[in-house]
Structure 1
Amino acid sequence: MHRWPKITLKIFAILLALIFLLYVGVAVYVNQNKESLIVAVNKSLNDNVNGTVKIGSIEPSLLQGFPGVSVNLKNVTVRDSLWHLHRHTLLNAKEMDVSLNVLALLTGTVRINRMTVKGADIYLFTNNTGYSNTSVFKTGEQQKTKEKGGSLSAEINRFAFVNVNFTLDNRAGKKMFRFVVPRLTANVNHRGSGWKAKADADILVRDLAFNTQKGSFLKDKRLKGGFLLTYSAKTGVIEAEKKNVEIGGDTYVLGGHFSTSKKPVEFVITLDSDKLIWKRAASLLAPNISKKLNMFDLTAPFAVNAVIAGNMGPGSQPSIDVSCKVKNNVLSSPGGIMDNCSFSGIYSNHYINGKGNTDENSIIRLFQMTGTYEGIPVEMDTLYINNLVKPQAGGTFKSRFNLQKLNAVFGEELLKFNSGSADINVRYKASIADFELSKPIFTGTIAIRGADADYIPRKLNFKNSDVLLHFTSNDLQLKDIRVQSGSSILRINGTVRNFMNLYYTAPEKMLFNCNITSPRVNLGEFLGLLAARQRVVHIKKKRGRNDFIEQLNNVLDRSRIGMNLRVDKLIFNKFTASDARANLTMSEGGIHIEDIQVRHAGGFLRLSGTVNQSASLNRFAINARVSNVNIRQFFYAFDNFGMQTLTHENLKGYLFSKTNVSGAISDKGKIVPRSFRGSVIFDLKRGELIKFPPLQGVAKFAFPFRNLDSITFSNLNGKFDLLGDKIRINPMKISSSVLNMNVAGTYALNRGTNIALDVPLRNPGKDEKITDKKQIEERRMKGIVLHILATDEEDGKLKFKWNKNHD
């Protein structure tokens, strides 16, 4: 070997020997001066704190800290000057391995290059007045003064925590951070204007409560991963580079920065994931948020980005901003399940600037939401929920679907759809109760085409029907509605004023004002309207869905419908009319008829009144006017009004009458026999009685040689009182071609007929040439007058006899 390499090796060996001797010397020095060294270290540390620092023992650990000098400290405690009041020790460590700068140590100065803390409790406490036990560390000016004479260095190149409990208890700020650290290591590279640290951690988060009243984030979740931190002394900012970390068993990208120069310290934490699991992510949040989120679920993973920003000041609540993208997922909610669900969304707890970071100022927005609900395609351009304390929701809703799909959603107790399609395009606002829409307000349109549906409470079927509902901010407009039931076709237009308010608060005050036109209506196809509306007993299948049907049923049950009808042809059993005009109102109790006018039997009918509905009968009270109606057709149309003796076959002529009558109609549209009460004032023009049994009976009794099969008269008027199964005939004069008579008494539909007839024997045909009405009146009862009494026998037939009670 050449001379210079030999010299170099000798020098290197000498240096190693010197270093070894130096370390041995330090070890000997430490062992021989242990007690004095502990006193010196404790003194040096206590000179730099406002409180007490105590080290129980110190042992050298040469090989562990090589090439530095390491010492093992046991039972290290750090307490601030007010510990005796709050009793929270800042640091209580069973063991600390500290690597010291050798030269500094020999000169009496303690400088730390590396530190490992084992089995320790670190408790940062701030009371309600803002005082913190971290005040144990002196201010910057105090520190600089001490550093001139030598002190604890602020630079630690490497440190590690093993089985350390860390607590930040800020009573003034209502914050509580608690961590259990099985392992945390960090290498710090100090630069002139800051430092850069690479750390690896395994941390159990017991509490991360930014507001203890709201609860903790990451409660009892494990956090594992590596971190890269950079600190700038110039800006006072600690930057955490985004790195993959494991939180609660799932992988996230975590990053952020902390502004330590600002008072209080400000922070921003970012969290990203491409494969977030909804339920597991919800468990990372504070209870006030997770409780709400757990009402929902997305079965497949989705992408999310979250930003949490705030400060460590008293009472501060961090801002939270979350964005996500969901594609072809399954969304579960209290209202049901949406398949093939896709949307992008955001959450923020500072919706309105200056209103704070609170639940009240929170908003959830979903954009371009699509999916299928019970097979019904759903599309919402926007959807929002704000104020999570008193939630309000709103947005747009679009859908096109087959109406039969609604049967699975709402059941078939109110409406059963057999065919047809719906096109919905509405905006809505609603409050939310238990995460369900409550009292939504709509604007927009609902169009139904080609519907075939059964309306169960009225036993009505509508087919090939079209409906267009236009919702404004307050009203509901009914436009171009076509409803067909059987052969009847109705076209409806109308308005419901203050619809949205009354729908929920006072449906009994709601009035559907409708204009209805039709070329032909068969009332027999609407007999369901005569029956009392059946109550819908709805069996709830799934929470939330049937509330809508129950409210709709309540509205249809209690609201009123005001109808202005124009019908070209009106049919009901044997009754046929044309040019019908009607104004009436249907309500929960029945039908109020303001005015009905029809052309019938060559004449004109007009009536008003009410129909009150009950379980089996419809009781009516009617005021009617009949003008120039063919009496034969009129009696035929109304089944002779329940009379067996006087029928349409016995009558000819044109009737004028004024009627005030009450009675009953069955739910099949049949007049209930013997139910009539009231009065009928009539005038029959150009009348004829054909084979009228009572007159034929009179003929056999008193005029066996006079033909009374056909009796004509120019005018017959009188008044009948309807008394159920009896008709009281007020005194009435009958002047005919073959017979005159005065009639009064009671005609019974069952038993109890008692009619007095005063009949002159003279033939009125002899007076045909007399034109003087006064003279005719004077002559009509001249001569012999027969007094006859008509009564009914047990077999129901009329019996005629002399009226012995005649005065």
Structure 2
Amino acid sequence: MPKWLKTILKILAVLVGVIVLITLSLTLYITFNKKKVLALVNQELNKNLNGTITIGDMQPSFFQGFPNVSLTLKNVLVRDKRWPEHHHTLLDAKNFNVGVNTAALLRGAISVNHIDISNAAIDLYTDSTGYSNTDLFKKKNKPKDKSNDNSSSSAEFGKISLNNVSFALNNQKKNKLFAFDINNLEGKMTYPDSGWHADLQLKVQAQSLAFNTDNGAFIKGEFIAGRLIAGYNEDTKKISVVSDALSIGNDQFAINAIFKTGGKPVNFDIRVAANQILWKHAASLLAANITQTLNKFNLAKPIAVKAQIAGSFGGGDPLLNVTGNVVNNTVTTPGGVINNCSFTGVFTNNYQNGKGLNDENSAIKLYHLTGKYNNLPFSIDTGSIINLHKPIAVGNIKSSFPISNLNGLAGDDIAKFGAGTASLQLHYKADIIDFRLKKPVVSGDINIKDASFTYVPRNLALTHTSLSMRFAGNDLILSNIKLQSGHSSLTMEGRVSNFLNFYYDAPEKVLLTWQVHSPQIHLAEFLGFLSAKKHVSKVVHKRTSNNIIDQLGDVLDKGNAVMHIQIDRLFYKNFLATNAHAELVTVSDGILIKDMGVQHAGGSLELNGRLIQGDNLNRFNINTTVNRVNVRDFFRSFDNFGLSGITYQNLKGFLSATAHISGGITDNGNLVPRSIKGVANVKLSNAELLDYSPLVSVGRFAFPFRNMKDIVIPSLNAKFDIHGDKIIINPMQINSSVINADVAGTYALSRGTNIAFDVPLRNPKNDEGITDKDELQQRRFKGLVLHLVAKDDENGKIKIGWNHDHK
């Protein structure tokens, strides 16, 4: 039997022995000589004890209940010899009433009809060295010869009644404290051949059920009420305790406990089950530190729970196995709410045999977990939380849902989703810090089909979008990507090396490498990339995604991409290019353009530069080379480069140029007036200048008989310095079919035009047969030369006059 149970039985046996000594023959004598008898009894009881037993008063009754004898003891104190040191009284009973079967006594047996104890305290105390106040029962004399011992008859008890009795088993060496306030206990004992059987009805308040006081107490302050059936089998040396409906707090439990008393220490195995219990109620029955943790979670509806507590009274933490079944419940966690949740949950503090019963070897396993998180359905075949001291979550998660369900999760500052479906199958592993997944490492696949959404930071709308994402090691691989925006379509393949290493700690180092191909792109549909990224708000949204979505937004906000692009046909307003290729690099403040080249207007364009994005205004700085493009188509494609005096309608021929320019461009893709600065070197060949009004005006003034509306220019080299609305024309020679001229000055887009023309009156047609370049150069200025100037007046109208400043 457990030591504490043996101790209680010893106490009862001693007190019953007192009754045996004083009942039959001394009842009347005690009545009239109570004081003297009490002194003799106390003296006799204390002869062989390592402590003291004192009885304050006794009231025998021989004739009441005859032929049985009853005796009431008052103010019974049982203390060991070291009580002055620890002050733990083994027994302090104000009332102790015993009824003894007289006929059994005459047969040499002790049969107690009833024991009634009230207003009492039982305190079984063991200090940190292993000393116990129950040692008072150890006899000092040597063991007697058992062959002559006639006192081996065991006592049998009938009815037991306890009222207002406190019981404590306080073992400081083993860090155990079991303490109960027994309001009422009524029991009936029977003795079959195999041992004994007890039927108990009780109402008890638990003050402490601490298997390890360092971890706190279970069911503290809870009332325990109901019927218990207990029994002892002498052959197996086991005590069994069973209850089909034991009330603990406000809930009903089934109890099945086994105590193995055959060896030392005593082992126990307690099984507890509740078919319907609320999460908050179950959490309140556990130790305070566990309750505090569990209260961070909640389940809306009752659940079914089974628990096993097994161990030894010899010390150490007990084995804990808990199983719970959750069906279609609402689960609240620090990371959010899971609706329609079902799973079987298992907890054990013996995850791996032989590694101890502790938090480090504890695990929570969730089997067949299904639910909806922020309207996203998911399933986890097996999820585990291992090592509750430094918890790690691992598992496999599956989900399939309409992509529009992501709207509640992502918020309005990252993306807005429409049609399409998403599915995922991932294996995850993550630390758990403050009850949230921290830096999960994932592997597996995510697939999106026929999706439409708007990427808010770039105001980019996409339709009929599909993609596959695979997490492989630390890398993220994107494949089978099809995007469509309006009339544009793309196919893409991408990869982020060391994605998981950078994702959490250095999102600015995330670099996505894309291979992009498109049969046709309309740039107007991607003007969102011209505007500055709308940074993800740092304000906490109502969404409960915690770090997952916010972190994704942070990565999209700070991360960069390299795009290797090949486009068959590229459209922008009047611009059409073919065989376009480029490398675009997104950086924190804009886009780098590397090795961009297109076929356009019968020639080609090459470009390198940088786009710096700002609020409503973007700055660009580019170097470009134009190779023999049709000048008319070229000017028309670029809206005449903001010029109004000369347009594509005035031009024919082929243009080659190099330019280094900077300027501004709006979010709508329009050049900012007067923002262009830089240098352009231009070469025209086989060109014609058609109906160019300044020259037509000059012709009317100086060459009324020449066709100034169609001027053929075989070759022209020019250099222009661009300063906002001013274009500086460096000195250049115009050799044409109608007129030769030296031109220099400033052409203003608004006010300030001042262009000098030195025009020889000699008609170039007179020199058509001359092929020698030197001779042609000598003949250009033979004869009269007109020195003219083109200036704008106060109304901005250009007037031609004599250049009086010419020297």
Q: Tell whether the structures are fold-level matches, with TM greater than 0.5.
A: yes
User: Are the counterparts in 2 of residues 398 and 425 from structure 1 also a CA contact under 8 Å?
Assistant: yes
**CA distance in structure 2 between the partners assigned to 1:762 and 1:274 by the alignment:** 114
Asked whether the equivalents of residues 111 and 151 of structure 1 are also in contact (C-alpha less than 8 Å), the reply is no
Change in 2 beyond 3 A, CA 1:543/1:114: farther
Structure 2 CA distance for aligned equivalents of residues 74 and 143 of structure 1: 32
1:40-439 alignment runs, 5 A limit: 40-62=40-62, 67-100=67-100, 114-138=114-138, 155-158=155-158, 159-189=160-190, 195-232=196-233, 236-241=237-242, 243-260=244-261, 262-313=263-314, 316-439=316-439
1:462-501 → structure 2 map (5 Å cutoff): 462-501=462-501
- Separation in structure 2 between the aligned mates of residue 290 and residue 728 of structure 1, nearest angstrom: 81
1:260–1:109 distance in 2 versus 1, CA, 3 Å: closer
- 1-structure distance, mates of 2:482, 2:757: 57
Greater Cα offset, 594-603 or 393-402: 393-402
Kindly tell me: are residues 147 and 472 of structure 1, through their superposed partners in 2, closer, same or farther at Cα, counting changes over 3 Å?
Answer: farther
1:642 aligns with 2:650: no
Matching residue of 2:621: 621
- Report the alpha carbon displacement of residue 536 of structure 1 after superposing the two structures with TM: 4.2
CA distance, structure 1, for counterparts of residue 561 and residue 91 of structure 2:
79
Counterpart amino acid of 2:125? F
- Aligned position for 1:11: none
Deviation at 1:192, TM superposition (A): 7.8
2: distance between equivalents of 1:426 and 1:286? 36
1:60-86 Cα deviation digits (max 9, x unpaired) = 133677654321111111111111111
Greater mean alpha carbon deviation, residues 780-789 or residues 106-115: 106-115
Corresponding position of 1:769: 769
CA displacement 1:661-688 (0-9 Å, x = unmatched): 1111001100111111111112112111
| 1:729–1:743 CA contact under 8 A, matched in 2 | yes
- Tell me the residue number matched to 1:596: 596
Which letter does structure 1 place at the counterpart of 2:38?
I
Structure 1 window deviating more from structure 2 (666-675 vs 704-713): it is 704-713
Instruction: Give per-residue Cα distances to partners, 1:728-782, cap 9 Å, x unaligned.
Output: 1222222222222222222222222222222222222222222222322333333
Distance 1:64 1:420 in 2: 91
Other structure's SS at 1:774 match = helix
TM-score by length of 1: 0.91
Inter-partner Cα distance in structure 1 for 2:716 and 2:176: 101
Matched length: 785
1:545 aligns with 2:527: no
- How big is the shift at 1:409? 4.0
1:235: Cα distance to partner? 5.9
Q: Using a 3 Å threshold, how does the CA distance of structure 1 residues 204 and 145 change in structure 2: closer, same or farther?
A: farther
Query: 2:109, 2:153 within 8 Å by CA — same for their partners in 1?
Result: no
Using the alignment, how far apart are the partners of 2:447 and 2:526 within structure 1?
A: 24
Change in CA separation of 1:279 and 1:26 when aligned onto 2, cut-off 3 Å: same
TM-aligned CA distance change 1:141 to 1:603, over 3 Å: farther
Larger mean Cα displacement after TM superposition, 565-574 or 290-299: 290-299
Q: Which amino acid aligns with 1:351?
A: Y
Q: Is the 8 A contact 1:113 1:155 kept in 2?
A: no
1:171-207 deviation per Cα after TM superposition (whole angstroms, max 9, x unaligned)? 3333322200012244445578854444332211012
- Give the match for residue 585 of structure 1: 585
Q: Residue 217 and residue 396 in structure 1: after superposition, are their counterparts in 2 closer, same or farther (change >3 A)?
A: same
1:741–1:757 contact (8 Å) kept in structure 2: yes
Separation in structure 2 between the aligned mates of residue 147 and residue 248 of structure 1, nearest angstrom: 52
8 A Cα contact 1:568 1:579, kept in partner:
yes
CA contact (8 A) 2:23 2:60 kept: no
Q: 1:640, 1:648 within 8 Å by CA — same for their partners in 2?
A: yes
Deviation (angstroms), 1:541: 5.5
- Contact 2:49–2:139 (8 Å) recurs in 1: no
| Range with greater deviation from structure 2 (689-698 or 567-576) | 689-698
Deviation digits for residues 128-183 of structure 1 (CA, Å, limit 9, x no counterpart): 22322222221799676799667697635244322101122223333322200012
Structure 2 runs not aligned, ≥5 long: 1-21
CA contact (8 A) 1:112 1:153 kept: no
Task: Report the equivalent of 2:19.
Answer: none
- Tell me which residue corresponds to 2:758: 758
Contact 1:696/1:709 (CA < 8 Å) preserved in 2?
yes
Question: 2:419 is paired with a residue of what secondary structure?
Answer: strand
CA distance in 2, matches of 1:483, 1:67: 102
1:19 corresponds to which residue?
none
Supply the distance in 2 between the matched residues of 1:801 and 1:105 (Cα, whole angstroms): 151
Moved more, 319-328 or 334-343: 334-343
C-alpha separation in 1, matches of 2:144 and 2:657: 118
User: CA separation of 1:462/1:613 partners in 2, compared to 1, >3 Å: closer, same or farther?
Assistant: same
Q: What RMSD, in angstroms, separates the aligned Cα atoms of the two structures?
A: 2.9
Query: What do the CA deviations read for 1:266-293 (whole angstroms, capped 9, x no partner)?
Result: 3221101222332212211112222222
Q: 1:514 deviation in Å? A: 1.2
CA distances 1:22-66 after superposition (whole Å, capped 9, x unpaired): 987552243245445434543443244321111112221336776
Task: Out of 365-374 and 194-203, give the one that drifted further.
Answer: 194-203
| Structure 2 Cα separation of the partners of residues 37 and 102 of structure 1 | 21
Aligned 8 A contact 2:223 2:248 in 1: yes
In 1: Cα distance, 2:191 partner to 2:220 partner? 34
Aligned-partner Cα distance in 1 for 2:231–2:532: 80
Q: Which amino acid aligns with 1:716?
A: L
Contact 1:334 1:543 (C-alpha < 8 Å) held by counterparts: no
Amino acid at match of 2:289: N
Q: Which amino acid aligns with 1:802?
A: W
More displaced 10-residue stretch of structure 1: 336-345 or 462-471: 336-345
Code of the residue aligned with 1:484 in structure 2: it is Q
The range that moved more, 708-717 or 371-380, is: 371-380
> Which whole-Å CA distance do the structure 2 matches of 1:351 and 1:92 have between them?
45
Give the whole-Å Cα distance in 2 for the aligned partners of 1:596 and 1:23.
Answer: 116
Q: Following the alignment from structure 1 to structure 2, what is the Cα–Cα distance between the partners of residues 249 and 61? A: 43
Q: Which amino acid aligns with 1:289?
A: I
Instruction: Note the C-alpha offset of 1:637.
Output: 0.8
Cα gap change, 1:753 to 1:542, in 2 (>3 Å): closer
**TM-aligned CA distance change 1:417 to 1:511, over 3 Å:** same
1:717 paired residue number = 717
- For 2:702, the equivalent position in structure 1 comes to 702
The letter of the residue matching 1:220 is G
Aligned partner of 1:486: which letter?
G
The amino acid that maps onto 2:269 is V
More divergent stretch after superposition (603-612 vs 107-116): 107-116
**CA distance, structure 1, for counterparts of residue 107 and residue 191 of structure 2:** 23
Partner SS state of residue 217, structure 1: coil
TM normalised by structure 2 equals 0.91
Tell me, in whole angstroms, the C-alpha distance in 1 between the residues paired with 2:157 and 2:110: 15
- State the one-letter code of the partner of 1:505: D
| Amino acid across the alignment from 2:735 | S
The aligned counterpart of 2:461 is 461
Q: 1:185 to 1:351 in 2, by over 3 A?
A: same
Match of 1:804 in 2: 804
2:742 alignment partner AA = N
Aligned residue identity for 1:720 = F
Q: Indicate how the Cα distance of structure 1 residues 63 and 690 shifts in structure 2: closer, same or farther if over 3 A, else same.
A: farther
Q: Answer yes or no: is the 8 Å Cα contact 1:164–1:180 preserved in 2.
A: yes
Bigger mean CA offset, 744-753 vs 402-411: 402-411
Structure 2 residue matching 1:77: 3-state secondary structure: strand
Q: Tell me the SS of whatever aligns to 1:805.
A: coil
State the distance in 2 between where 1:404 and 1:261 align. 66
SS of match in other structure, 2:361: coil
* One-letter amino acid matched to 1:166: F
Gaps of 5+ in 1: 1-21
Q: Distance in 2 between matches of 1:554 and 1:518?
A: 29
Deviates more, 1:710-719 or 1:754-763: 754-763
Contact 2:67 2:103 in 1 (8 A): no
Equivalent position SS for 2:737: coil
Q: C-alpha separation between the residues in 2 aligned to 1:65 and 1:650? A: 136
Q: Distance in 2 between matches of 1:487 and 1:140?
A: 104
